[in-house]
Amino acid sequence: MGRSHALSGWCLGLAVAPLVGLTSVAEVVPFAAATAGYALVPDLDHPGASASRLLGPVTGLVSAMIRTFSGLLYNLTKGPRDEDSTGKHRHATHTLAAAILLGVLAASLGDRGKWAVLAIAATGLLLAAHVLGDWLIIAVLAAVGWSVLGTAVPGTSTADAVQAGLTGIGGWIGVAVSLGMFTHCLGDSLTRSGCPWLWPLPIRGETWYEIRLPRPLRFRTGGWVERILIAPLLLAGGVLLLPGAVQAVERLFDATSIWLAGR
């Protein structure tokens, strides 16, 4: 579900950015790109996931360490009715607790300055681009360029625009990380396997209780529902949520209506 996870993180990032005061294109697009990237991080607990293969042996080693930790945590905290499982995939990293913890860590690192924010945001961007394609990197660069061209301050350079964007999202980089990871958990809750994101809250004798939709509404990972329905809807939402996109569509619709009326 890598593509769906990244697209859902992208959409949520675009939707949340204005709510936290990020309004310029140079702020909104990098924020959403970071959210999209960190929506892939929970699957570091699977050796075949995009995040685990991003940097070859390096991320492969991180993945192995996470799986080992997740298995130990599962065995230490499982309830009397938890299933007999290795506790590696869809466990430790697929929790609200993990999303909050990594978000707090990212926020504390972001407080160290713009370079720390840049490193965190760039990591998210690379993760997302690995799944969605290089167009995402182009979109971020275009957002910065648009900010430079559209600025009202004479003499503003690309470096100034980047710095302004990083300053804007700096206080919210931890939110982007947490949102991305939690979006992943919500996405997995739509599937047949579910996701234990409420750990360690005990539910029906399970501390790793899989939250999921009613049986008729669940879909299989990688199945036709995800490929034909969910992914296209997320892609459309990811375009329409861009700053000014709805207004551009409305203007296009109005212009088309006028042209048709004049024929």
Highest mean pLDDT among 69-78, 217-226, 243-252: 69-78
Query: What is the four-CA torsion angle of 78, 1, 51, 95, rounded to 10 degrees?
Result: -30
CB 208 within 8 A of CB 88: no
Environment class of 80 (CB within 10 Å of its CB; exposed 0-12, middle 13-18, buried 19+):
exposed
How high is the pLDDT of residue 252? 65
- Name residue, tokens 């004049």: 262
pTM listed for this prediction: 0.83
Q: How sure is the predictor about 153, in pLDDT bands with cuts at 50, 70 and 90?
A: very low
Q: How sure is the predictor about 152, in pLDDT bands with cuts at 50, 70 and 90?
A: very low
How high is the pLDDT of residue 236? 78
Residue 46: pLDDT above 70?
yes
In 3D, which of 24, 25, 31, 26 has the Cα closest to residue 10? 31
Average pLDDT over the chain reads 82
How high is the pLDDT of residue 177? 94
> Assign residue 82 a region: left if phi > 0, alpha if psi is -120 to 50, beta otherwise?
beta
Residue 150: pLDDT above 60?
no
Q: How sure is the predictor about 27, in pLDDT bands with cuts at 50, 70 and 90?
A: confident
Could you tell me which residue, 97 or 234, shows the higher pLDDT? 97
Could you tell me which residue, 155 or 184, shows the higher pLDDT? 184
Q: How sure is the predictor about 145, in pLDDT bands with cuts at 50, 70 and 90?
A: low
| Share of residues in the chain with pLDDT > 70 (%) | 77
pLDDT, one tens digit per residue, over 99-138 is 999 999 998 887 777 778 888 888 888 888 888 877 777 7
At residue 81, φ and ψ (nearest 5 deg) are -110, 5
In 3D, which of 190, 196, 249 has the Cα closest to residue 216? 190
